[in-house]
Structure 1
Amino acid sequence: MARLLNFLRKDSLTNRLKKIKDGDSQEREIFIEEYIPFIIKTVSNTTNRYVESENSEEYSVGLEAFNEAIDKYEGSRGTFIGFAELVIKSRVTDCLRRASRHMVAVPISQYDEEQEMQIEAQLKTEDFTDAFELKDEMRAFEEQLRAFDITFSDLVNEAPKHVDTRINSIKIAKYVAAHQGLKEELFRKKTLPGTKITKELNVTLKMLKRSRKFIIAAILILDSDLELLKNYILAIEGGVADGLQRMRGEG
Structure 2
Amino acid sequence: MVLVNQQAVRAADDNAYLERFITAQQQFILRCAGKNCGRFVDRSDDEFSIALMAFYEAVQAYNPANGGFLPFAATVISRRLTDYHRGQRRFSCEIQLAPQAFDGTIDPDEGDTSLQLAVAEQAAQPQALSAAGEIEAANALFADYGFTFYDLADCSPRADKTRTACAKAAAVLLRTPGLLDEMKKTKQLPIGQLVKSSGVPKKVIERHRRYLIAAALLLSGDYPMLSEYLQGIRKELERCEL
- Tell me the TM-score normalised to structure 2 length: 0.49
Higher relative contact order (CA 8 A, sep 6+): 1
TM-score norm. by structure 1 comes to: 0.47
